[in-house]
Structure 1
C-alpha cells in the first residue's frame, strides 16, 4: 500500500503526536479502597444515554486501577479551567496526590475534588484489557455540575489550552 504524501505508519511516537491534535477534557478518576486513590485521565467519554454509561481507559501499569477494580466504584472529577496543577499532580507517579486537598465524598463514597466543573459517580460495570490499556465501563448513579466553571482542556501535550 502506498501512503499519501505526508502520512506516516502508526508507530507509538507518531501515534501520540497525531492524536495530540484531538482536544480533550481532563478528568481525575477517584475511588476509596484502603485510602483515597486517583489518577488523571483524558481518555474519558460518554458511552450510553440509556442506561447511563461512561467509559475511561487506564494504563495496564497504573497503580490506581487495581484499587478502582477492587472497590467497584469511582467518581469522575471533570477538572475546571485553572486546575492544571491538580491534573499534573494526579498524573505524577509519586505519592501524596491527596495531600493538602480538602476532598468531599461522593454519594458512592469516592473522593470529590474541590472546584471541579462536574462530578459523575459510577459503579464499575465491566472492563476489558486492550493493548497496553484497559477499557473500564461505569454505570452512572449520581452526578452534579457547576455551570459557572469552564473545563480544563488538554491539547498537543499541554494542559489549559
Structure 2
C-alpha cells in the first residue's frame, strides 16, 4: 500500500492540489483584511491575494472564498481595510487565518475611518470603499477604491510554497 497521500485523492482533487502547489511557487506578501459585520462586530481574515490595480483612480483588489465565514460581511459592507503585515507579525497572520478565536481580543487595534478595525503597527494600511464585487469561480474578487493609506515601513511578511519566508540580505 502506498504511503503517498495523493494516491488516495480523486483525479480532480489531485489536479486541484497540483494547481495549488504550482500557484505556491509565486511568493506573496501577507495581509489581514478587516471590516464590521451587520451587527457591528469586527471581522478579519488573513489574505495573500491582495494586489494593486490602478493608481488613477486608486484601486486595489483581493479575493475571498465564497464559503468563508466572513464572506457576507466583506461583500455587504461599504468599507474595508487592508493591513500589510511586517516580518515579525506571523502570529497575527496565523491568528486571522484561524477560525473561532477572539482575534481582536488578542491584537492591538483601534477603530479607524468609518469605524473599520485598524490593526496597530503594520507595514502599510489601506482604507477602502468597496467599489465592485466580481464573480471569480469559487471566490469573489473585491475591488476597492483606496480612500486613505499609510506606509510605516519594515520588512514584509512573505509566503512562498506553503511557508513564511524572509527577504534575502542585500
How does the TM-score come out when normalised to structure 2? 0.84
- 1:98 partner SS: helix
What SS does the corresponding residue of 1:94 show, helix, strand or coil?
coil
Are residue 37 (structure 1) and residue 27 (structure 2) matched? no
RMSD (Å), alpha carbons = 1.6
Q: Does 1:91 align with 2:97?
A: yes
Moved more, 83-92 or 97-106: 97-106
Name the SS for the 2:73 alignment partner: helix
Q: CA deviation at 1:113?
A: 1.1
Q: Distance in 2 between matches of 1:82 and 1:129?
A: 34
> Which residue matches 1:108?
114
C-alpha separation in 2, matches of 1:160 and 1:101? 22
State how 1:23-34 maps to structure 2 within 5 Å: 23-33=27-37, 34=40
Alignment partners' CA distance in 1, 2:91 and 2:27: 18
Instruction: Give a deviation string over 1:60-119, Cα, whole Å, max 9, x none.
Output: 111112112222110001001111111011011223111232202222321111221000
Alpha-carbon offset, residue 159 of structure 1: 1.9
1:21 is the counterpart of 2:28: no
Q: Is the 8 A contact 1:77 1:118 kept in 2?
A: yes
Partner of 2:162: 157
State the 1:17 CA deviation: 0.6
List runs of 5+ in structure 1 lacking aligned partners.
1-8
**Structure 2 portions without partners, runs of 5+:** 1-11
Q: How many residues align?
A: 152
TM-score by length of 1: 0.89
What is the rounded CA distance, in whole Å, between the counterparts of 1:135 and 1:72 in structure 2?
A: 15
Equivalent residue for 2:65? 59
The 10-residue stretch of structure 1 (22-31 or 96-105) with the greater mean CA deviation from structure 2: 96-105
Name the residue aligned to 1:4: none
- Give the Cα separation in 2 of the matches to 1:133 and 1:157: 20
Give secondary structure in 2 for the equivalent of 1:99.
helix
